[in-house]
Amino acid sequence: MYSLKSFENGFEYLEINLKNISAKIALQGAHIFEYKRNKEDVLWLSELSDFELLKPIRGGIPLCWPRFGNQDKSMPQHGFARVSLFELIEVREREQESVKVFLKLQDSTQSRKIWDYKFELLVEIIVGETLHIKMKTSNNSLQECLITQAFHSYFCISDIKNICIENLQNKFYLDTLRDEICQESSAIHISCETDRVYQGVEKEIYLIDGVREVCLKSKGSSSLVVWNPWREKCSKMSAMHKDAYKKFVCLESANAFEDCKFIRPQESYTLELEIV
């Protein structure tokens, strides 16, 4: 039902095969880079993705941690977790129904150079009819720490023209391309470069693509990023074909901007997402 595999360059990942479900999880970044239901991809993965140590994978669910975005100049964009090697702690199988995976990242001499905290980041993934991820940050330092974070999920779609994102009506968002706060008036259709951080998101979010529907249920998050680079930016991005923007949309359950989290010493914070 599961096995630990590696590419020729030694890049390791866990492969999970259940009755109608399959998934692949890289140990670098605790990164789910494939999740299929009935052989259909739920997550998008770029054909040009590199599976190389210290390079982020383009697609799947990168974990942005302990920073979302690039506001903090002392840190790489989206933090360092996505290019850090996690320890595989345990894999638990539940017959043909689900597989639960535990992965852990702890501070190191390297991490303390860019983020001077003692921490444990525990990632729990349940692969089954739904995909459930939790990331728990424990602050083992003597000082309070601040985190911003996200499940940077790339969803596979038939075409960007066909999709609609529902349940963000009336929400305020920061349009990061214009640096403007706006209010959403209706369900979202994407027809140009879009990079927005919605705030006050409490409900489930629906991604509707013709007859296909994906629902995102988040806990511990009230911000959601909606991102599509569109034509021009896509052609300049690493590990993306110039037309790749038509085939994915990122909906990222986050703790970003005003939804950032302060964690006191010896306390922890958990962000959770279920993709139904």
Q: Minimum CB separation from ligand BG6 for residue 74, in Å?
A: 16
- Determine which residue in the list 151, 195, 198, 218 makes contact with ligand BG6, applying CB under 6 A: 195
Give the residue, chosen from 216, 225, 244, 251, that forms a contact with ligand BG6 under the rule CB under 6 A.
Answer: 225
Least distance in angstroms from the C-beta of 195 to ligand BG6: 5
* C-beta closer to ligand BG6: residue 37 or 78: 78
Q: How many residues does the chain have?
A: 276
The nearer residue to ligand BG6, 152 or 247, going by C-beta atoms, is 152
Query: What's the CA gap between 190 and 26, in Å, rounded?
Result: 30
Give the nearest distance from C-beta 99 to ligand BG6 in angstroms.
27
Contact between 259 and ligand BG6 (CB under 6 A)?
no
Residues 13-52 that bind ligand BG6 (CB under 6 A): none
Q: What share of the chain is helix, strand, coil (3-state, %, to 5)?
A: 10, 50, 40
Q: Which is nearer to ligand BG6, 117 or 227 (CB)?
A: 227
Nearer Cβ to ligand BG6 (75/164): 75
Restricting to residues 109-168, which ones interact with ligand BG6 according to CB under 6 A? Answer: 152
Least gap, CB of 251 to ligand BG6 (angstroms): 10
- Residue 97 CB, nearest distance to ligand BG6 (Å)? 32
Among 34, 124, 252, 259, binds ligand BG6 (CB under 6 A): 252
Q: Using the structure block, give the residue that is written with the tokens 């525990």.
A: 122
Which member of 31, 67, 78, 134 binds ligand BG6 (CB under 6 A)? 78
Closer to ligand BG6 by Cβ: residue 37 or 151: 151
* Footprint on this chain of ligand BG6 (rule: CB under 6 A): 56, 77-78, 152, 195, 225, 227, 237, 252
